[in-house]
Amino acid sequence: MRVLLAILWKDLVTEWRSRDRVIAMLVFSLLVVIVYHFALPAGTGSEVLVHTPGLLWVVFVFAALIGLNRAFAMELENDALSGLALVPVDRGWVFAGKAVSTALLLSIVQALAAAAFALVFDVDLSSRALALAGVFALGTLGIAPVGTLLAAMAVRTRFREVLLPILLLPALFPVLAGAVEGTAEVLRDGSPAFASVQLLLVVDGIYWIICFIGFDYVLDE
């Protein structure tokens, strides 16, 4: 647990000093929202509301890809990956620290991107903010572990910017299925259905367990 907290603190402090990942993710998200504004046909807020779940999660996933491509950049530049491999504890705790920091940064971007989306399209998300935050959190907890593991695998390859999306997007199908459906249910009914929440919880649990165990072998490679 101390390793998890140390890695988490290191990542958050480093990000606070540079802000390169959050700014890149946020700028990209805002640009996509602006593109949506010009690309989608003109309509009322209620018409846009039907497409909001899918549009939001497209923004979130591609913002996560930008952040994950930089998740191990500092360790690679300073050859610190070798040092992480020598940590005298289960390496899964190193993975957990990186995944939690990624989840926290992505959550910040999600909140700001959702606010920008609501403002641009005149859609009221504030009345369902708590339920939406719960669905967003469950979706993020599914993206963070598998994204962190695959980012660690791709970081030493020549084409990591291309390889990571190819590996990650198919792995996120179960997460997106539950997250998009859960978001749609919140916007339609005020709360997500049990089936959507159950799917997200099961997928999140499976991904965290598999990635926690598998990270040991990824560092060895």
Please tell me the distance from the alpha carbon of residue 57 to that of residue 164, in angstroms, as a whole number.
18
Q: How far is the C-alpha of 107 from the C-alpha of 94, rounded, in Å?
A: 20
What's residue 7's pLDDT?
77
Check residue 190 and give its pLDDT: 85
How high does pLDDT run on average in the chain?
Answer: 85
In angstroms, rounded to a whole number, what is the distance separating the alpha carbons of residues 148 and 150?
6
Q: How confident is the model at residue 181 (pLDDT cuts 50, 70, 90)?
A: very high
Q: pLDDT tier at 2 (50, 70, 90 boundaries)?
A: confident
pLDDT value for 28: 92
User: Which H or E run includes 163?
Assistant: helix 160-171
- The whole-angstrom separation of Cα 104 and Cα 67 is 11
| The predicted structure's pLDDT at residue 144 | 93
Comparison of pLDDT for 167 and 15, the residue scoring more:
167
CB 75 within 8 A of CB 84: yes
Whole-prediction pTM value?
Answer: 0.88
Report whether pLDDT(205) > 90.
yes
- Contact assessment for residue 72 and residue 94, using Cβ atoms and an 8 Å cutoff: no
Q: What is the mean pLDDT of residues 63-75?
A: 82
Cα pseudo-dihedral 125, 126, 129, 130, rounded to 10: -150
Q: What is the pLDDT of residues 100-141, one digit of tens each?
A: 999 999 999 999 999 999 888 888 888 888 999 999 999 999
Residues of the chain with pLDDT > 90: what percent?
A: 42
What pLDDT digit, counting tens, does each position of 7-52 carry? 788 778 877 887 788 898 999 999 999 988 888 766 555 667 788 8
- Residue 174 and residue 139: Cα distance in Å, rounded? 10
Say what the pLDDT of residue 42 is.
61
Residue 12 has a pLDDT of 82
How many Å apart are CA 171 and CA 142, to the nearest integer? 10
The pLDDT of 152-166, averaged and rounded, is 81
